[in-house]
Amino acid sequence: MLGTKLYTVNPEEKLLQIDKRISKTNAQQANQAILSLISTTVETTATIASLEASADSRTQLADDIQRNRYHRAQSRNDMKAGLWSLNKQRAFWSDAVLRKTTLAPGFYVEGKVYFERNECAATCLFSVPVNGTSFDYSFEQSLVKP
């Protein structure tokens, strides 16, 4: 809409969201480790109990155990990949994005500033306040679709 004010994405909020997701993933990993230990114990007990079972039953049990091991390994790998991705995102929002800061005279800071995209806007005027002075930047937006 014409004249709509858009604010930058707050890096501190993004970091907090990512930290919450990292914490949740770490808790899921701990739960997964406990479930894996329980599952392995149950599988060992079932294997010992099946020693006198028929060959078909033992084969079925071995297949079930193998399938469970595969799913546990896949789940572990998915969580590791998710945690790696979250850590990369956190590093980006922590290091590459311009965050609110105070600079002494003669120093400078650089980084990226992100805005939520407004597909309806053909042009945008960004106003950046610094020490009571407003710096205005005008941009034209083009949406390129493949």
pLDDT digits (tens, 9 = 90+) for 79-132: 999 999 999 999 999 888 887 777 788 888 888 877 777 777 778 888 877 778
Q: What's the helix, strand, coil split of the chain in %, to 5? A: 55, 15, 30
Q: Domain for residue 124, yes or no?
A: no
What residues make up the domain containing 39?
A: 11-95
In a domain? residue 85: yes
Q: Does residue 102 form part of some domain?
A: no
Helix (H) or strand (E) holding 79: helix 55-95
Per the document, the length of the chain is 146
| Position 125 in a domain | no
Mean pLDDT of 31-46: 92
User: Does some domain include residue 101?
Assistant: no
In a domain, 5, yes or no: no
The band of 28, judged by pLDDT with boundaries at 50, 70 and 90, is very high
144: left (phi over 0), alpha (psi -120 to 50) or beta: beta
CB-CB contact of 95 with 109 (8 Å)? no
pLDDT band for 2, please (50, 70, 90 cuts).
Answer: low
**39 domain residue, yes or no:** yes
In a domain, 71, yes or no: yes
Q: Report the SS3 class of residue 118.
A: coil
Q: For the chain, how far is it from start to end, CA to CA, in angstroms?
A: 25
If one counts the domains in the chain, the total is: 1
Q: Which of 89, 78, 99, 69 is nearest to 29 (CA)?
A: 78
Kindly report whether the global pTM for this prediction surpasses the value 0.75. Answer: no
